[in-house]
Structure 1
Amino acid sequence: MCPATVLSGDFKRYSLASNMDDVLVCLIAISHPDMAATIRVSSDPTEQLGWLDDGTPKYGTVSNGEEYLYYQFGFTLPGQPSGTETPEAAIVLDNVDRVLVRTIRELHEAPRFACSIVLASNPDRIEYALPKLILTGTDWDAAAINGRLTFATTLQRTFPPRRFLPSNFPGLF
């Protein structure tokens, strides 16, 4: 996903208005090759999606055929970088059931975060999207998980990408 190049009139009005009848919804998809499934969370309980195993209603947002479960979190968009620093976003996830902490701890590499912003009245139209962000630092306590998110840059890649071992490059040895 890349940032939307044309913002809708509704989104522009929402951005400039002091109050609006519609709601901005932040959708985040957390993925990693070692995870069984992508975790999708929504900042707003836009609609009832069904029922949980304990009989309580399950809320969230459906956008482009994907269910994003309502989960309390805070997300700060990356700012304008100054000098040579890489822009960073910030995320604060509620740590009520400890499932996300356990999932993040078990990963050997940083998960990817894809962020989209939609209007609750039209969740299939992505108003703004960020390319995949990488979780670069986390800390947590009993109440919340705090994370820093950065863009993937060539400076974060290992060089050379492979090690020159006899098993990888038999012609060299």
Structure 2
Amino acid sequence: MNIEELKNLRTKKGWTRKQLADKLAVSVKTIQAWEQGFKNPRPSMLALLDNLFAEKETYSILNNFWGIALNLKSNIKLVRLYTSKEELDNLLHIVKIANGDNLNGYTIFIVKTNDLEATDLLLNDEILKYSDIKSIEIIETYKKALTEKQIKECKLRVRLNERKIIND
């Protein structure tokens, strides 16, 4: 999306700044700053704007996420969720090459959720809400890996792949 066109696109849809701000969960001042070129939206917000102004708005329903967690130290834990098993497998392949098949500290898991649209996640900064989680199932663990309880205590951020957001 070309941010310079935001005002034209908004008025073409018949929306006020307030209506657009409510749809994006931002302030009216933020919309005004974008339209006047004082600020630029984050990449995830640009993707959401693209979706809002797209002529065809068909969104993927997401309810399964494939996750990887790394236990670095007692107070440092990294967790990332992917929308497809292929994306997780690609990352695992890279990790195995980098670490020489040593996956100590890693946990591979699946998160089942309520049905979500990509826009729900974008509005929440790609963070999965705890209330949306139905279950977490550990698939594989390696030495010093995280437990299910430790994973639940982490911020679960989904890596949304832009091409998966809109179905053509």
Fold in common (TM above 0.5): no
**TM-score for the superposition, normalised by structure 2:** 0.31
The TM-score, its normalising length taken from structure 1, stands at 0.31
Task: Judging by fraction of residues, say which structure has more helix.
Answer: 2
